[in-house]
Structures are given as C-alpha cells and as structure tokens.
Chains A and B, each alone.
Chain A
Amino acid sequence: MKRGLLSVVADLALIAYFVFALFPVAWMVVLSLKPTNELFSTYFSFTPTLDSYRTVLGAGDDQGVPFLRFFVNSLVVSLGAVALSLVIGLPAAYAAARWRFRGSENLMFTLLSFRFAPELTVIIPLFVLYQQLGLFDTYVGMVWVLQLVTLPLIVWIMRSYFSDLSPELEQAALLDGYTRKQAFFKVALPLVKPGIAAVSLLAFIFAWNNFVFPLILTSSNAQTVTVGALSFLGGDRPKYNLTAAAALVSVIPPLLLALTIQRYLVRGLSFGAVKS
C-alpha cells in the first residue's frame, strides 16, 4: 500500500516537471492562433486563425520582416557548416583515432577549447576583419564562423566512434590488398555511418540554434531565424501572436531532427565523455 502511494507521488512529481517543460510551447501554439484584435482581451476563448502564420511566412508583416528568407538562410548556413565540418573533420577524427603523433592531442584539445570559449572573444575581432574582407553578412562568412560550433563536435564524437571500431577489420582489408584509402572508405566509414548521421544532425541543430554569430556578423542578407524572430518584438505594441508563430516555425526543424537521434544524444551532448 505504502509503495503504491509513493509511486503515485513520484509520478505526480514527474508530471509537474513536464507541465513546466511543455507549457511554454503549448502556450506559444495558443498565442500564435490568436487574432490580433483579441490578443489582449481574452486568454483562452477566441476564434483561432492561421493569420499569424500567413503573415510570418508571407511577405512579412507591415514592417516587412522577410522571415521566410531568414528560414532559408538558416538552412543554407547550417547545412554548409555541417558539410564543411564533415569534409574536414572526418579525416582528422580518423587520424586522431588510429595514430598517435605529435600534434594530434594538441589539435584535439584546441578544438575542445573552442567548445568552451566565450564566443565574443573571436567574434568581435571577426566583426572588424569581416568588414575589411567583405565577408560581413555573407553565407561564406557565416559558414566559416559556425565551424567554431560544428567542427569540435564532429571531430570529437567521430574520433570516439572510430576508436570503438576494432582495427582488425581494417587490418584484414589491408591484408586483402586494399590500400589505406580503400580501407577507410570501404570498411571504416560504412561501419560508423549511424554515428556520422547522428552527429551531423546534432551539429546541424546547434548551428541552426546559434544566435550570437548571426546577430553580430550579419545584417539582412544572411540573417537567420534566431535573429529574425526578435524583429516581431519591436515597436510599442509587440505582436505577440506573430512572435509566437515565428518562434514555433523556427523551432520545427531542430525538434523534428532531435526526435530521430534520441539514442545518440548522450555521447553527442557530452562530447564523448559519457557513452550510453
């Protein structure tokens, strides 16, 4: 009897936490469906409308916020950042997993220090530099600086996946007359495919969610959703329903991707420090 009561209490505690965790998102859905004229007059009883989404995804609101364009920008720079990190990071991760050589540990720890470095330490000089180089407010400039986020993640996690791989398989391939290159592409790489997929998605999510880089290094052409979502808050009468719609639209891609990589999250979030 006592045990039964305890587990009910435990479940209630869990439910309480999840109400706290989920209510804001649910409330944004409610806000985004409110018509502007009922925005502040009622809380729960109103005629739902999709107008906010039409405004946000259409030509923008009366201030002309091109939100759809920001959305595309977010896609382009996040994909670009992940692609570049994979091309550069996979060989480095493989080398760091299979050989010990001068500089490999230093490189790994330099990359790890990127993960913990306060972003503005690099961004403020880049802000000055980008103005001179013409990289300010460009895709190239954003993809480059997002390497700070994506590259350390991809190299660290992929090294841990390559290290978990038994070297004997590659050895057997070498004995069968494969070259090193073939052994990497035909044996090692296919075996860590799930890891590559998961870490790429996680890197994409972090790049997408980044705010401080586009805030400082873009103005309009390459601006992303995280910065764009703030534009609806301006003015003396903040457009709550538009802001909520913009917020929801901008969290859809990361949320959808996150659901597909639940199993791989622990290793990814802890940089390989914890393996599940």
Chain B
Amino acid sequence: MPGRAAPVPVADHGAASGAGTGKRAARAVPAWRRSLRPYLLIVPALLLTGGILYPFGLGLYYTLFDFAASKPQPDLVGLGNYRRIFTQPAFWDSARVTVAYAVGAAAVETVLGVAVALLLHRSSLVGRVLEKVLILPLMIAPVIAAIMWKLMLQPSVGVINHLLEPFGLGGVQWTDTPTGALLSSIAVDVWVYTPFVAILALAGLRSLPASPFEAAAVDGAGWWFTFRRLTLPMLWPYVLVAVIFRFMDSLKVFDIIYALTEGGPGDSTMVLQIRAYLEAIRFQRYSFGISYMIVLWAVVYLVTMVLVRYLGRIQNRAAEVAR
C-alpha cells in the first residue's frame, strides 16, 4: 500500500460512521492527521534504529582506512583491508573453525533436542517432573555456563576427570588439545542451547493434528513408519526454526569461546568474532577488526536469506501433509 497509510482491518473513522449507532465521536480528526498517525507511532523506533545503524555505517566507513591506535592519521586504503583478509591464511583458518563449530553445535543440538522433545511428549510421570526444569541451562548466561564448565573440565582438579578416574579415563586434557578444545566448547554450547530446540520441538509435537495419527494407528502402521511419514514432515517446520536460530547464533559465537579457551590452544578455537575482538580491541587495529566483522555480517545475512526462503517452502509442504 504505497503512499498513505491504509488501515488494514480497522477502519478509523474519526467521526462515528455507523449511522445511528452509539454516540457521535467527541471530535472529528482531520484526514491528513489520520494518515500520519502510524508514522508518528514508529518515529521513536526509527530514531533508535538509526542510532544503531549509524555505528554500523561508521564501521563500514572505517574499513576503507587503515585506522588503528598506532596510526592517528589513517590513510585511505579502499578495499585493502578486505584484500588483506582474503589473502591471509589466518582468516581461512578462522572461517573453517567457525563453520565447524556452527555445524557441530547446531547438528548435535537438533538431534538431542528433538530426541528430548519426543521423550517428553510421551508424558510419563518422570517426564512431567523433569520438564519443569528443562529451560534451566538456557536461562544461564552462556559466559557463566562456560565458566562453570571450565572449572569442571580442569584436568588435574576438575570434577569430570575425577569422576572418570574409576573407569581408567582420568587425566584427559579437555581444553588443552586443539580437538579437545573445539569439542569442549561445542559441548558447552550444546549444554546451554539444547533446551531451546527441545522447547520448540515440543511445542510443535503438541500442536500436531490428531487425525492422521489415528488413521495410521487404524491401518496398523508401525512406530518407525508413523515417525518418518507423519511426525517428522509435520514437525520439520518447527525444528527448522530452531535450526536456523541455532546455526546463525553459532556462527557469531563469542561468550563461550572467550571464557573457555580465548581462541586457544594455538588458533584451534579462534572463531571469527574472537579474532575480530583480538584484532580490534586487544591489538587496537580497529579497521582490520571491523573488516572481519563486515565479512561475517555479510555471510550471516546471505545464509539467513537462503534459510528463511527454505523455511517458507517447508511450512507450505507441512500444511499439505497435515491435510
């Protein structure tokens, strides 16, 4: 509806229109003021949005210079920062670590979250009791969760190795080996965010229509067939929302890695946001650090668009299955 604000469902008649119904309106509001109304309502939000977009624009502008604490008079370098990023092995290492982290975390959380949701959906006594505390890890700040796990994973005095000792598995160097550090940080992510997937999947399970399942039961369909052909296709839109959120969030992970490993050992957990942080804040190479973030932002933006399109298609298909 270009041009003027068209009231969607509510016709906004300044003066009471329904002839003879009720009292007359206190005063008629002129038409030009009526069409302005929605704009007046969103002006504050627009101003604030501008306040966030301004630093973003400023950041984009900085990336065209070699702005750093060591260079108070920055030179214009055009796309030099980006050229430097793409020709550095460090960037590609970070990109690999970031994708490995995001894929690993999102995959484990999805499988585990859906499994927990299916188990809770059976609504056994045990399940009903446990469901009350399902969201607990999700409400703990990720950085605090990482601190907790750091204490527990400490090789010599941590409780995890102590508990493993009877099984002859003591002394594991959890966060001190490259693979171990990456897996440990993914484990913390899984600990915090599995409830997120489980909650959405559980909401999905509880909203599925009953009739297809009754029909399948009458036909004597087995559990596996019902799950594959009915439950999963109808549940997939809900799960996909969770997967999109988790995958996008894991691409920009910061808190967990910062508290658990700070990108180490070596560069084994040096995800993009951590590297940008070290570049910009610790080494004060502002332009270079922001350039890293602009690249990540562009990737996140593109991936989001693709996934949201896919989600729309899936939702339509699920609606057909439900029919």
**A-to-B contact residues, CB < 8 Å:** 7, 10-11, 13-15, 17-18, 20-22, 24-25, 27-28, 31, 39-40, 43, 87-89, 91-92, 94-96, 98-104, 107, 110-111, 113-114, 116-122, 124-129, 144, 147-148, 151, 155, 167, 170-171, 174-177, 179-180, 205, 208-212, 215-216, 226, 229-230, 233, 238, 240, 243-244, 247, 250-251, 254-255, 257-258, 262, 265-266, 269-270, 273-276
Contacts and interface: CB of A to CB of B under 8 A. Distances in A.
Contacts of B147: 229-230, 233, 243, 247
A118 B150 CA distance: 24
15 contacts: A14-B127, A21-B195, A24-B152, A27-B148, A28-B151, A88-B45, A107-B46, A124-B293, A125-B62, A174-B13, A179-B25, A205-B139, A230-B147, A265-B135, A273-B241
A251 B191 contact: no
Query: Binding site of A, secondary structure by majority: helix, strand, loop or mixed?
Result: helix
Contacts of A88: 44-45, 48
Contacts of A103: 39, 42, 46
B141 A208 contact: yes
Contacts of A114: 52
B300 A116 contact: yes
A91 B44 contact: yes
Given A121-B296, A124-B281, A211 B12 contact: no
Nearest to B34: A180
B280 A99 contact: no
Contacts of A10: 119, 122, 124
Interface string B250-267: 011011001100000000
Interface centre among A125, A126, A262 (most CB of B within 10 A): A125
B140 A251 contact: yes
A170 B11 CA distance: 10
A7 B242 CA distance: 27
B291 to A, nearest CB: 10
Interface centre among A7, A262, A274 (most CB of B within 10 A): A274
B294 interface: yes
Q: Which 9 A-B pairs have the closest CB atoms?
A: A209-B141, A92-B45, A95-B41, A125-B59, A118-B252, A101-B5, A258-B139, A91-B41, A121-B293
Given A7-B122, A91-B42, A99-B6, A255 B280 contact: no
B8 A98 contact: yes
B55 A155 contact: no
B159 A43 contact: yes
Nearest to B157: A40
A229 B144 CA distance: 7
Nearest to B39: A101
B5 A99 contact: yes
A21 B203 contact: no
B6 A101 contact: yes
B52 A148 contact: yes
A177 B24 contact: yes
Nearest to B149: A24
Contacts of B39: 95, 101, 103
Contact of A247 (B21, B116, B148): B148
Contacts of B254: 119-120, 211-212
Interface in B182-211: 191, 194-196, 199-200, 203-204, 206-207
B42 A118 contact: no
Contact of A102 (B2, B16, B144, B149): B2
B52 A147 contact: yes
A125 B148 contact: no
Contact of A274 (B127, B238, B258): B238
Contacts of A270: 200, 241-242, 245
Contacts of B272: 118
Interface in B55-114: 55-56, 58-59, 62, 112
A216 B258 CA distance: 12
B23 A176 contact: yes
A129 B41 contact: no
B270 interface: no
A269 B200 contact: yes
Given A21-B136, A230-B259, A266-B203, A125 B238 contact: no
Given A27-B159, A99-B6, A175-B16, A125 B195 contact: no
Given A98-B9, A124-B286, A266-B199, A258 B1 contact: no
Contacts of A20: 191
Contact of A211 (B10, B124, B143, B206): B143
Contacts of A102: 1-3
Contacts of A21: 133-134, 136-137, 191, 194-195
Contact of A24 (B42, B143, B145, B286): B145
Contacts of B126: 11, 14-15
Given A24-B152, A98-B10, A144-B51, A211 B191 contact: no
A100 B1 contact: yes
A104 B38 contact: yes
Interface centre among B112, B138, B196 (most CB of A within 10 A): B138
A182 to B, nearest CB: 9
A247 B140 CA distance: 9
A14 B202 CA distance: 14
Interface centre among B10, B127, B280 (most CB of A within 10 A): B10
Given A101-B6, A177-B16, A177-B26, A255 B140 contact: yes
